[in-house]
Amino acid sequence: MRFAGFVLALLLSWLALPGQASAKVWRDVVYDHHSGIGDGNFTMDIYAPDGAKKAPVVIMVHGGAWVVGNKQSAIGIDQPRFFNDEGFIFIAINYRLAPDHPFPAQIEDAASAIAFVHDNIGKYGGDPGEIFLMGHSAGAHTVALVSIDPKYLAAHDLGLDVIKGTVPLDGAAYNLVKTGEKKGELPRFYRPVFGKDPGTWEEASPTLQILEGQPVPPMLLLYVNRAVSPKRAKELADTLVMHGHMAQAVEAKKRNHKSLNRRLGSKGDKYGPMIVEFFRGQLD
């Protein structure tokens, strides 16, 4: 069930973002509602360039091992300003966290947020036909899966074609079956969200949900030189390409897991511009 929450937009405030003269920022816009669960789990911050009109939109899903983090504390401070300066509306979302809300709650919430944006972003100066996804770490897993498995958006009567492009930032959970097969269980890090059932691991693995002929948005996977992440990113990209989709895995050199996210869009960063170039290549 979607809950528009547009009444919160009446709290519109004019705020200055770092390095930017002015932007419109809507805080804590509610995109969904579940009985018995606080609406704070289903909020987004919308940052729009001043005077935005039919602007393309980037939805950012934060990381935090699926158990911590929020739409302000777990994204790089320069990201809203950077994407606004490039002409994009930037949206950061909250979502339900494990262990209270295990998989697939996070993916369902991302789909709800996408559906809300698709239905309402015109009120904020955005183009519902130009929606892009980006996510870091746990958020990388979320945006990859919601871009590949059509059932999450289908619950909102939307197809995967509503997403124009997806950028997962240094995820390592793209094939959980492979991660758990050696010891017969997932590393402790993953258990609060994905549990012990190999059937759940398969359902939660973007690489294992790719189907021939199923449309998938173009994907740019950035990874850093750390354990597991490069192999999983390359495997996902190669599997997408093998099934006829557009995908590329690129190493973010001179970055670690945290700094790729924290420095994205900062002065001298080259990965923010790389992402913008990728997004612009998908614009109609």
**201 neighbors 174 (Cβ within 8 angstroms):** no
Query: Is residue 18 in some structural domain?
Result: yes
**80 neighbors 47 (Cβ within 8 angstroms):** yes
pLDDT band for 213, please (50, 70, 90 cuts). Answer: confident
Q: Residue 117: give its domain's CATH number.
A: 3.40.50.1820
Query: Is residue 271 in some structural domain?
Result: yes
Query: Is residue 1 in some structural domain?
Result: no
Query: Is residue 94 in some structural domain?
Result: yes
Pick the closest to residue 171 from 114, 92, 108, 228 (CA basis): 228
Q: What is the pTM of this model?
A: 0.93
Q: Over the stretch 226-281, which tens digit does the pLDDT of each residue have?
A: 999 999 999 999 999 999 999 999 999 999 999 999 999 999 999 999 999 999 99
Query: Is residue 105 in some structural domain?
Result: yes
Q: What residues have CB less than 8 Å from 30, skipping those under 6 apart?
A: 3, 4, 5, 8, 39, 42, 43
Distance CA 212, CA 58 (A): 27
Q: Over the stretch 146-161, which tens digit does the pLDDT of each residue have?
A: 999 999 999 999 999 9
Query: Is residue 142 in some structural domain?
Result: yes
Does the pLDDT at position 45 exceed 70? yes
Its domain, for residue 161, covers 6-280
Task: Quote helix, strand, coil % in the chain, to nearest 5.
Answer: 40, 20, 40
Does the pLDDT at position 165 exceed 70? yes
Domain count, the chain: 1
Does the pLDDT at position 202 exceed 90? yes
For 262, phi then psi, to 5°, come to: -65, -35
